[in-house]
Amino acid sequence: MRTPTTRRGFLGAAGLAGLSAMAAPASARIEAEPWGIKLGIATYTFRNFDRTKAIEMVRQASVPWISVKNTPQQLATNSTPGQAREARAVFDAAGLKVMSIGNIDMTKAVTADDLRPLFELAKNFGAPLMVCAPTHDNLKRVESMAREYDIRIAIHNHGPEDRHFPSPQSVLEAVSDLDPRCGLCMDVGHAYRAIRTGHLRESAAARTGDVTYADDPVKIIPAAGSRLFDVHIKDLTDLTNRDSQCDVGDGEVPVPAIFQALKRIRYQGCVNLEYEIHGEDPLPGVERSLSYMRGVLAGLAAA
């Protein structure tokens, strides 16, 4: 039987103990790592707010893990070393655990000198991982910087509009022979859009006929293995349409299957909610999305 993916379908078919966690009162204890999965938030979710307000909303969502977006309000890309360290101290004082920064646009960084300020920012902020968007042309220079600074980089797939890395498999093909510090940040929503809109016709996997994993983002997870450094999760009511984003659990992304696949590879990174809708008032949708994911994880743990 196919695992239900939507909020209504999963709850209606579950019959799994523990799913009542989705309806738990706000005062109930919320596990930091339900079923061993680190649920985090990419602070791009709160891109319209300054650092203080973003932190306030992350804490209200009861999430300890964060990926900090390099916005002028939260962590300016041109921060001095002192400003970067000061920003990190604020997040630390709030009890938040910084797992990465980004997504950092590297598409215009042609030379090593162009890239160095970005790695200096990560170093001074104390980020062990940079979610980033390089190009095929500068990827070797990015790899060299990752080795020099001993900072991991996770290339973010951005869907069919991205001519560099539209899909997770396009990232995996590019990093397969690179330093182990180079890996993938799989954006689940963009991954489905890339596949459903025909990106596979252009991928190396499709050209060789090897589509054993490339035809389904859930199958990409075991194929990525240790190269999977980060996951951005969002949901879509139409897996071909970027404008159909919705609260997680209301769309077609198979969230339970994704969590199961991550568990099977003993994934150690974060699953970061990247909520891109309702930019002026994101918190209700953020809390609803996290509640659904926590409920799914509680159900899977009890199964």
CATH number at residue 237: 3.20.20.150
Show the domain range for 103.
Answer: 31-302
pLDDT at 168 (0 to 100): 93
Q: Is residue 9 part of a domain?
A: no
Q: Is residue 5 part of a domain?
A: no
At 294 the three-state DSSP class reads: helix
Q: Are 220 and 229 in contact (CB under 8 A)?
A: no
What is the C-alpha to C-alpha distance for residues 207 and 228, in angstroms, rounded to an integer? Answer: 23
Q: Is residue 16 part of a domain?
A: no
pLDDT at 15 (0 to 100): 39
pLDDT at 30 (0 to 100): 86
pLDDT at 11 (0 to 100): 55
Q: Which residues of the chain have pLDDT under 70?
A: 1-5, 7-28, 198-215
Structural domains counted in the chain: 1
Q: What is the pTM of this model?
A: 0.89
Q: Is residue 13 part of a domain?
A: no
DSSP class of residue 163 equals S
Give every CB contact of residue 140 below 8 A, 6+ residues apart in sequence: none
Q: Is residue 66 part of a domain?
A: yes
Q: Is residue 36 part of a domain?
A: yes
Q: Is residue 247 part of a domain?
A: yes
Q: Is residue 74 part of a domain?
A: yes
Q: Of 69, 71, 60, 65, nearest to 99 (Cα)?
A: 65
What is the C-alpha to C-alpha distance for residues 151 and 130, in angstroms, rounded to an integer? Answer: 7
